[in-house]
Structures are given as C-alpha cells and as structure tokens.
Amino acid sequence: MKNKRIPILIVAAVAVAAGVGWFRHNGAAPEHALTLHGNVDIRQAELAFNASGRITRILVQEGDRVKAGQLLAVLDTERLALALKQAEAQTAAQREVVARYRAGSRPEEIRQARAQRDAAQVGLADAEATLRRQTDLVARHFISQQQADTARFARDRARDQLQAAEASLHLAELGPRKEDVAAAQATLAANEAAVGVLRRDLQEGELRAPSAGVIENRILEPGDMASPQKPVFTLALTDPVWVRTWLAEPQLGRVPVGARAWVQTDSHPGKRYRAWVGYVSPSAEFTPKSVETSEIRSSLVYQARVFVCEGQGELRLGMPATVTVPLDQAAPAQGADPCADAR
C-alpha cells in the first residue's frame, strides 16, 4: 500500500506546483520585476575640420580612447601663421598711432609753435617799421614809390605769417581732432578683428575631440585634403550609454522615469550593471521587427532608454542586453542622482 501511495503523492505535488506557477503568471500575485530585452545604443559623431587644407598629422588610431579636447589631427597652417604675424605687426603700429592721438601734442611741439609765433610777431614789427621809413622817404622824394610798395608787400606777408603761426599754436594746444582719434580707433578695431579671425582660422586647423569616446573609424590620412564636408574620424561616444528597449502600455504606470534598473549581457554572464530609466517615448509605435513574435506582431509599444551607470567600456554598440526593472518604484526626487540611487 505504501508503494502505491508514493506515485499518487508525486503526481499531486506536481499538480500543486503547476497550479502555483499558473496562478503566479496569470492571476493574483503581481510580478515584482519587469524583464525587458533590447540592444546597447551609443551615439556616434563624425568629426571633420571646420576649415579646408591638407592634413599634416593624425595623432590617433582606430580603437584609441580619447578625452574631451584631445588633439586628434592637424592641418598645414604655415601660410596662416605668417598672415597672423603680419596682421599683429599692423595692429601694433596702429595701436601706437591711437596712443599718439590720445596723448595730444607734446610740450616740445607747443613750445616750438609758440616760438614760431613770436618770431612772426618780430618779423611783422620789423616789416611795419620798414614800411613807415619807406613811406616817409617817398614823401620827401628820396626814394621811388616802388620801394615803398615793396615794403608794404613785405609787411602784408609778415602779417599773414603771423596769423599762420598763431593758428598753428592754437592747433598744437588743442591737440588732435576727435574725428581723427575716432578714425584711428576704428582702424585699430578692424586690425584687431583681422587678428582674431586669423587666430580662429589657426585654431580650426586643429581637430579636437568634442567629448570622451573611442575612435571607431579613421577615414582620412596625412596628405589628404580635408574640408568641413569630409569627416576624418567616426567617434563613438562612451557617455552616455543606454539600452534601447520597449514597454507595453500596461507597464507604463509601473515604470516611472528615473526608476532604478539592472542591465545584463551575454558577454559578461553573471555580471549586472547599475542603470536607470532615463526616457520613455510619449508616442506609441508598432513592435520593432527585431523583437517581433507571432503573438505581439501588431502590438503597440513605447520606446524606452535605460541609461547605464557603469561598465561603459564593456558594452558595445548593438550588443543584446537584458534589462530588469523592479516594479512600482516611487518616483525619484527631483534633482537626485539616479546612479547614486541605483544600488
């Protein structure tokens, strides 16, 4: 009898286990975590010079990790360097012109103009005295009228010279005209702008990494002609790295943006990466072909991005990944670091 009861007990236990399994998947007990499938996604940037020219140096190879701002390649900029030196020299000369105008007349120049004025006054006084003597002699018939007229012309010329000397002294005391100063300053500003343009052109002769990443493709080589339309490298950005996956409509209310998650890959079995749900699409789409099955072929899903907090160097573009999201999490506090909480 005991031997006959053993198979019956085994069958009963199996039935109970199957019933519990069906109940968990189809009925009362809610799941505590959501499992999603997707692929690792990494942004890529095609890096090109912002200027045209011949490449003289390329400093990185495919597969090299680079930092933000790291120099990657250089163009031939010798002509630009010479033009910059010329523009800087012209700017320095014009800067001295502006300084001279702002300083006004030197004291020595004013003293010189005053001395010329005084000399003109003496010359006028002498010419007037000569004219008086010549006029008296003409009246007494000792000299001709022509000599008196010559003395009068000399007096008039001395008077004009005095007026010119006085005007020169006045201008020296006033200093440069404000219009001349403004024109000199405008010329200086134009020269400085030209220097700035050439310096910018020299900077554009260097290609630097916009952010940290990995050189994926090296397209051009030293000696090639580069231009803004011809990429030199393809850069895979290592931050951020996320898994592109999809949520069904019933799951939206249970997975808030910022929720903690875990990412696993077949390349590193048994290893989990901390992550968080960073984006859920506001619009639905049909299930992508990459995850279609006959049951869900016409289902509508919402694209989600699960950002990875660690292990970016181990995750590669397109790598299949499994995402586990604990359900019914509280929405994270505003401004909180999601990676600090994803533990």
Give me the phi and psi of 176, to 5 degrees please. -65, 155
For residue 173, which of 100, 101, 111, 96 has the smallest C-alpha distance? 111
Q: Could you tell me which residue, 141 or 28, shows the higher pLDDT?
A: 141
In this structure, are residues 71 and 206 in contact, taking their beta carbons and an 8 Å threshold?
yes
Do 113 and 214 fall within a single domain?
A: no
Q: What CATH code is carried by the domain that includes residue 320?
A: 2.40.30.170
Question: Domain ends where: 184, 200, 216?
Answer: 200
Task: Tabulate helix, strand, coil % of the chain (nearest 5).
Answer: 45, 25, 30
Do 195 and 97 fall within a single domain?
A: yes
Whether a cis peptide bond, with omega within 30° of 0, leads into 240 is: yes
In-domain check, residue 154: yes
In terms of residue numbers, what domain contains 335?
30-41+238-341
pTM for the full predicted model: 0.58
As a whole number, mean pLDDT of residues 190-219 equals: 93
The secondary structure element, H or E, covering residue 25 is helix 2-26
Do 223 and 294 fall within a single domain?
A: no
Do 130 and 191 fall within a single domain?
A: yes
In the numeric block, the tokens 């900029």 are attached to 77
Q: Is the pLDDT of residue 13 over 60?
A: no
Do 265 and 303 fall within a single domain?
A: yes
Place 328 in a pLDDT band, splitting at 50, 70 and 90: confident
Residues whose CB is less than 8 angstroms from the CB of residue 81 and which lie 6 or more positions away in sequence, other chains included: 202
Do 132 and 214 fall within a single domain?
A: no
For 136-195, give the DSSP string: HHHHTTSS-HHHHHHHHHHHHHHHHHHHHHHHHHHHHHH-S-HHHHHHHHHHHHHHHHHH
Residue 49 has a pLDDT of 95
- Average pLDDT of the chain is 81
In-domain check, residue 316: yes
In-domain check, residue 110: yes
In-domain check, residue 9: no
Count of domains forming the chain: 3
Question: Domain ends where: 153, 181, 200?
Answer: 200
Residue 287 has a pLDDT of 65
Place 174 in a pLDDT band, splitting at 50, 70 and 90: low
Token pair for residue 138? 């003409």
The secondary structure element, H or E, covering residue 243 is strand 233-248
As a whole number, mean pLDDT of residues 4-27 equals: 42
Do 209 and 293 fall within a single domain?
A: no
Do 89 and 183 fall within a single domain?
A: yes
Residue 134 has a pLDDT of 79
Residue 284 has a pLDDT of 78
Q: Is the pLDDT of residue 223 over 70?
A: yes
In-domain check, residue 100: yes
Q: Is the pLDDT of residue 39 over 70?
A: yes
Question: Domain ends where: 233, 252, 286?
Answer: 233
In this structure, are residues 60 and 233 in contact, taking their beta carbons and an 8 Å threshold?
yes
Residue 26 has a pLDDT of 41
Residues whose CB is less than 8 angstroms from the CB of residue 38 and which lie 6 or more positions away in sequence, other chains included: 243, 244, 245, 246, 291, 306, 320, 321, 323
Residue 94 has a pLDDT of 92
Give me the phi and psi of 196, to 5 degrees please. -60, -40
In-domain check, residue 8: no
Place 99 in a pLDDT band, splitting at 50, 70 and 90: confident
Residues whose CB is less than 8 angstroms from the CB of residue 244 and which lie 6 or more positions away in sequence, other chains included: 38, 39, 41, 303, 304, 305
Do 223 and 244 fall within a single domain?
A: no
The secondary structure element, H or E, covering residue 130 is helix 107-139
Q: In this predicted structure, which of 12-26, 99-113, 144-158 has the lowest mean pLDDT? A: 12-26
Counting beta carbons within 10 angstroms of the beta carbon of residue 55, is it exposed (0 to 12), middle (13 to 18) or buried (19 or more)? Answer: buried
In-domain check, residue 6: no
Do 286 and 226 fall within a single domain?
A: no
Do 224 and 130 fall within a single domain?
A: no
**208-222 pLDDT tens trace:** 999 988 999 999 999
Do 162 and 112 fall within a single domain?
A: yes
In-domain check, residue 73: yes
Q: Could you tell me which residue, 138 or 162, shows the higher pLDDT?
A: 162
